[in-house]
Structure 1
């Protein structure tokens, strides 16, 4: 029986990461994702942003561990290090000009729901229905790609292989499809406001 990540000391955890122990790497990755997701969602981000930031932070931490740039000072040092790197990366994204511009289009995906009052819940419900209706009206390639990524949880690498394209092309297509979906959702909202 393999040791759970919770049973490892900080030194054992670092040794396991250095040896590319896939079992421990996967546990470590999964264990800390939700905390980073919560941070990003609370600060104007989406789940997609959270995944990107977390992956970047995780790879950075893993690289620093392997090259001995990180030395633990206590039993939760590595977890704290991962969190602070993710937080810094997200702060950089928030400060970037491209995020500020994209954020104007992103009004619908922001988690700015106040307390869980009935109005807020109804508004969220309406947003979800509008987004799902727009999703149904997307062209088949976009619907397939976004469905595979968000609902089937396939990686961009898997999607690229499936569509027989480069991974970078798949990333660009996903971005363009999301923009198309956002515009389809925002347009009816603007029409309602214009009435």
Structure 2
């Protein structure tokens, strides 16, 4: 796997100062999923997420170029904070948000929100790996129940179990195996 020229925040900022378009392109791709996730989960669309992210990157870019940014956190935290504020302001303008913008700072600190998002992403990744290691029929049974929301009776019929109670029993055993695989890999708070 080819390593990026911009592996650190300092390298990205230096690239922007040198007017290297690759630094800006890298920045656009790097943190957009986080912003998109936030906006889509808060009454927004994909296009609105793109607009807000672009505005946030422009704010960051201009502050880097005129040397007025004293960054005391990671770039992603800064961008998240800027984009979050821009989005909440836009929601307020559209009347989709009931509270005043000043009240929003009382919710969750940006660092906490970003850390929580990263931790969830890590958990999803580890869970995906554990599900991949689980094997059949457990993998299909759990996917049918939790993802495709099939009834126990439908699962019982599909897998040839005697009745839905037998299917429930099997689901429980599969969950225990999945849990064991998950916690063998997952270490909370460790990055």
Q: Which TM bucket (shorter chain)? A: 0.3 to 0.5
Higher helix share: 1
Normalising by structure 1, we get a TM-score of 0.46
Normalising by structure 2, we get a TM-score of 0.47
Between 1 and 2, higher relative CO (CA 8 Å, sep ≥ 6) is seen in 1
